[in-house]
Amino acid sequence: GRLEAVTQQMGYHPQYLDSFLKTQHYLMHMDGPLPFDCRHYIAIMAAARHQCRYLVNLHVLQFLRAGGDPQWLRGLEFIPPKLRNLNEINKILAHRPWLITKEHIEKLLKISEWSWSLAELVHAVVLLAHCHALASFVFGCGCEQDEGLGGRGSLKPLSLGNQCFCEATAGNSCSQELLRINRKRSLDSCMELDSLRERMQRIHVETEGRDEMRLLQQDREEGEGQGAGVGVQGGSSWLSPFADTDGEVTGATNLACYMQDPDFGYQDFARRDEDQTQVFRVQDYSWEDHGFSLVNRLYSDIGHLLDEKFRMVDGLQSSAMAKRQGCEPSVFKRGIWNYIHCMFGIRYDDYDYAEVNQLLERMLKVYIKTVTCYPEKTNSEMFDRFWKQFKHSEKVHVNLLILEARMQAELLYALQAITQYMI
């Protein structure tokens, strides 16, 4: 009856957890434009972009429970063209959302046998952004580890339970339902279930040789003179995630079948070419004034749930966190939020970005950038070494800010492109 790892970590902040679970349940299990099996396959595609085995495993099981075709689990070549066409926007949103244009939207919506409707596309975009951001939280909080009640623990293979956290809101009260997450659901009718479980157990491996000191060294070598000193540069010369230290291909190759162009990753926005997208100014297109109404109109009620979640993370108590940094809670949280948005090219005209370097110590910025931009490179040592004097719950709070700021950034770019297409 132990709580699933994501639920366990978010449980340090119960009010946020309640809001998150309602949104997750609505996206995956309530009425909406997309079939249930497609929703979980889209989640698999999104999680695979960051090699997040934890989320891929969970949604593979949910995909089968929803009646999904087991052949689809062989990879993108075995899914309908309509779903496969989502791969390009998935790739761009996950790593460089500022490259999304109305042409990408038009290509998916054009009249053909495999075209998407606006409502379906909005549902898919929200799912992609949700799962990309959730992958950051999974890696940031070490949810791919088998954890004890105190938080991160020794590394063990992922134990697959019968209850997915996205089902925890079946009752009227999310919090009460979480206390009864020992309910089992039969999967006997799913094809090749036993071999699937064995396969999942094998593909959980720990990527080694990645620590923050290497990232800091690359930052010193590559990051000098970039912008106003707000960004933290990260390199990409890491060991391949698809091979272990002996060069033997590991089970991680099973995730490669769910994505194309695996070498496409985050690239510092400050290094963009002159002909690429200009800085995204929130004064011109914001969630409150534009994104909320569009998404809520095309996918009923999801806008309210997302808005509640954004407001909930902003309202979380962080007095101790801020006090240790010597500032007001709202100032500290805004610094983290704006720093994350800055890495995706989103700027606020009314904010002095010099505050970021004053508020956020270097190790914290390294951690935030890694978890936000390439979460698969996060390791337990990075988590343990930033903010040594802070409680685990305070570190989870930072990861919640990362989750929501990243999700909103992706949504802003995608919804702006949809808006431009509709004009």
410: which DSSP letter? Answer: H
Task: Tell me which residue has tokens 């990309």.
Answer: 132
Q: Which of 278, 221, 231 is nearest to 372 (CA)?
A: 231
Residue identified by tokens 């570190």 is 395
Cβ(348)–Cβ(412) under 8 Å?
Answer: no
User: Could you tell me where the DSSP H helices lie in 85-203?
Assistant: 87-95, 102-109, 118-140, 174-178, 193-202
141 with 54: CB under 8 angstroms? no
In a domain, 342, yes or no: yes
Q: Is residue 169 part of a domain?
A: no
Range of the domain at 320: 1-145+255-422
- Residue-wise pLDDT tens digits, 351-368: 999 999 888 888 889 999
Buried b (16+ CB within 10 A) or exposed e, 56-72: bbbbbbbbbbbebeeeb
Closest CA to 139 of 238, 61, 50: 50
- Residue among 292, 285, 418, 260 nearest 345 (CA): 285
- For the stretch 210-252, pLDDT in tens is 333 444 444 444 444 433 333 332 332 222 222 233 333 233 3
Phi then psi for residue 98, to 5 deg, are -70, -10
Quote the crossing angle between the two packed helices 362-373 and 329-343, to the nearest 10°.
50
- Give percent above pLDDT 90 in the chain: 54
- What pLDDT does residue 329 have? 76
Residue 416: pLDDT over 50: yes
pLDDT score of 123 more than 90: yes
170, part of any domain: no
Reported in sequence order, the residue ranges of 261-390 that DSSP labels E, i.e. its strands, are 280-281, 346-347
The reply to whether 247 falls in a domain is no
82 is a domain residue: yes
CA-nearest of 200, 36, 60 to 127 is 36
**pLDDT, position 271:** 56
Dist CA 74 CA 258 (whole Å)? 8
359 occurs within a structural domain: yes
- Mean pLDDT calculated for residue range 7-25: 94
**What pLDDT shows up at residue 128?**
98
Provide the pLDDT for residue 129.
98
Phi-psi label, residue 317: left if phi above 0, alpha if psi -120 to 50, beta otherwise:
beta
Tally the domains of the chain. Answer: 1
The per-residue pLDDT for 328 is 77
The answer to whether residues 267 and 96 touch, using CB atoms and an 8 Å cutoff, is yes
The residues annotated with a catalytic role in the active site are 52
Which of 42-51, 313-322, 404-413 is the least confident region? 313-322
Q: Give me the percent of the chain exceeding a pLDDT of 70.
A: 69
Q: Does residue 57 contact residue 258 with C-beta atoms inside 8 Å?
A: no
pLDDT of res. 29: 95
Q: What are phi and psi of 418, to 5 degrees?
A: -65, -40
C-beta separation of 53 from 144 below 8 A: yes
CA-to-CA dists, residue 52 to 37, 208, 374, 375, angstroms: 19, 15, 11, 9
Please tell me the pTM assigned to this model. 0.77
Lowest mean pLDDT among 1-10, 88-97, 181-190, 259-268: 181-190
Using a 10 angstrom Cβ sphere, with 0-12 exposed, 13-18 middle and 19 or more buried, the burial of residue 128 is buried
Q: Is 176 exposed, middle or buried (0-12, 13-18, 19+ CB in 10 A)?
A: exposed
Whether the predicted pLDDT of 392 surpasses 90: no
Is 241 contained in some domain?
no
The single-letter DSSP state of residue 390 is: S
Which band of pLDDT confidence, cut at 50, 70 and 90, is reported for residue 198?
Answer: very low
CA distance 398 to 401: 5
The tens digit of pLDDT for each residue in 19-32 reads 999 999 999 999 99
What does pLDDT average to over the chain?
Answer: 77
Cβ distance 381 to 212 under 8 Å?
yes
The residue type of 2 is: R
For residue 167, being part of any structural domain is answered with no
